[in-house]
Structure formats: structure tokens, C-alpha cells
Structure 1
Amino acid sequence: MSNERSDVDLRVGRIARKDVVSASSDTTVGDVAQTMADENVGDVIVTDDDEIVGIVTDRDLTIRLLTDEYGTNVLSEESRADLTAGDVMTKDPLTVESQAHVPRLLHHMNQASVRRVPVVDEGSVVGIITFDDLVVHLAGESAHVAAQLESLADVVHADSPTPN
């Protein structure tokens, strides 16, 4: 028996967001943050010459700009005003092809401790998938399964003999 439901396509491309926000590695951190705010997103894919070189997330900005761990604490006197996406991005991010199966992606996301994954086909960015997107999708699928089970339970109950 298969572990996947035959009536649901559990492939990444089905639920990935197609509206990807990107910037080059020399974009200033201020511009990246403003783009995130303007576009209401938590990530910007960093590309150079149409190739993914990194990803900047809201967490990257917080951790890398406000702590001393990376030597870029903007609150310190030594901080540079010209920090770029390339300075704070996560380099060589985990990517996934649109035809990949969601359970496998969840495994890789867990292993890499990431919440956002660019979706690529033939080396080009075609979308982005977030952990939040996956949770919403899987919750919807769970509700669908629960509704089907409830309907099936009604049929079983209706066809069951009644006690005397």
C-alpha cells in the first residue's frame, strides 16, 4: 500500500508561491529590508547573473545585524553603513525542484533547519515554498480527510445493525 494519497498531488510546485522577490548581492541591507516591508515578505532571494547565490530572511537581518556573532552589529561603532545582501545572506541555500514531493522537502527542511526554500527548475527560480505555506496546505488536507472520514462514519453508522 502506498504512503501517499492518490487523489492529492503532494508536489512542491502545486503549493509554492510564484511571486518571488529577489535582489542582487550588492543591494544594500536597507534596501533589502525596505523591499521586504513593501512586498510583505520574510525573504529575498539573492541572485547574481540569474543564478541563486543566497537568501536573506527576516531572521538573517535580525541575527546578523543586531548581534556580535557575525561582526556586523549595526549598533556598534565599528559597523559599516554599506552592508549588502551579500554580507548577511545565507549562501548556497537549500533549493528544491517543483516536481519534488512535499514529504521529502519537509525532511530536507528539517535537516537544514530552514523555513524558506527557493523552488527551481532547470536552474531558474520559479517560486518559493515556506514552512508556513506547508503547514496551511497540510492543515487543509487534514480537514479534507477528516470530512471524508466523518462522511464515511455516517455511512457505516447508517448501515450498521441497531441494537435491540
Structure 2
Amino acid sequence: MSSERSDVDLRVGRIARKDAVSISSDAAVGKAAQMMADENVGDVVVTEDNEIVGIITDRDLTIHLLTDDHGTNVLGGELGADLTVSDVMTKDPMTIESQARVPRLLHHMNQANIRRVPVVDDGELAGIITFDDLVVHLAGESTHVAAQLESLADVVHAESPMSK
């Protein structure tokens, strides 16, 4: 049996969702929020001329629009109507190539304390990968490995001198 870990060579592109939602930086922030609701996603990648310039997340909306931390609190009234995506987005987000290995992605996500990373191919948006995507994939892998181990345990038990 090989002692190599099977997850070391797993590439980001195998797990990433190819249908990343994108918006321009001059769009109204409300449009980005509506896109998140319509598409049932927690982020929208901000692009200009096919280049990623930012990302806006449901957390960005909450922090920027409902607290006083950034001067964009809309609880007081009319301010929110004039906000654009560029007012709220995280500029120059970390991206990762689809051919990058998952352990590298996990390391960078941990270091940057982020949960969502746009995936690029030749510098252009190719998808998005989230921490949730990784958890679901790894849970599925764990279930598969557990089933294989259970099957092997049945063989070992059947062949064991103690079972005869």
C-alpha cells in the first residue's frame, strides 16, 4: 500500500465551481446583493475588461452597510442608494490558478484568513472556490475512504484465523 497522500496532487480546478458570478465595479451595490440572492451565492467577483479587480461578499455587505466602521452605514437613511460595488468590495483579491494544488490553496486561505478565492486560467476568471466547497469535497473523500477501509476490514476479518 502506498504511503503517499492522495490529496497532495489534487488540483483546484477539479473542485472549483465554473459558474462564478461577476459584476462591474461601477454597478450599484444593491445589484450585487440581488445577484447573490438570485444565484444563491455568498460572493460576486468584480471584473473590468475580463480582469479581476475585486470581490464582494455577503460579509462585506454586512460590515460596510450595517456598521460605522467604513462610513457607509445605511441604517441612517439615504446613503446606500449611491453606493457602488467599488465602495464596498475587497480590492485586488487573492486569486489562484486552476492547476494549483489544493494544499497550497488551503495554506494561502489560512494565511489570509479568507473563505473565497477566484480561480483563474491565464489571468482570466475561470471559477470560484470556497472553503465550503473544500469541506464538502473532503467529506466525500473521507466517506469513500471509510467505505474502502470497512470493506478491507471485512476481508481481514474473514481471513483471520480467529474468525474460523
User: Once the 2 structures are TM-superposed, how far is the Cα of residue 3 of structure 1 from its aligned partner?
Assistant: 4.2
User: Once the 2 structures are TM-superposed, how far is the Cα of residue 38 of structure 1 from its aligned partner?
Assistant: 1.1
Gaps of 5+ in 1: none
Aligned length, in residue pairs: 163
**AA matched with 2:85:** A
Q: RMSD value over aligned CA atoms?
A: 1.9
142-151 or 80-89, which deviates more: 80-89
Task: For residue 52 of structure 1, give the secondary structure of its aligned residue in structure 2.
Answer: strand
User: Once the 2 structures are TM-superposed, how far is the Cα of residue 35 of structure 1 from its aligned partner?
Assistant: 1.0
Identity %: 76
Match of 2:87 in 1: 87
Matched, 1:12 2:12: yes
Once the two structures are superposed, residues 107-161 of structure 1 have per-residue CA deviations (whole angstroms, 9 ceiling, x without a partner) of: 1111111111100011011010011111000000000111111111111111111
Distance verdict in 2 for CA 1:30–1:162, change over 3 Å:
same
Distance verdict in 2 for CA 1:160–1:63, change over 3 Å:
same
User: Once the 2 structures are TM-superposed, how far is the Cα of residue 64 of structure 1 from its aligned partner?
Assistant: 0.8
Work out the CA distance in 1 between the residues paired with 2:147 and 2:103. Answer: 22
Work out the CA distance in 1 between the residues paired with 2:34 and 2:134. Answer: 26
Once the two structures are superposed, residues 72-126 of structure 1 have per-residue CA deviations (whole angstroms, 9 ceiling, x without a partner) of: 1011358352101100001111111111111111111111111111000110110
Match of 2:44 in 1: 44
Work out the CA distance in 2 between the residues paired with 1:74 and 1:113. Answer: 27
Match of 2:159 in 1: 159
Match of 2:112 in 1: 112
Gaps of 5+ in 2: none
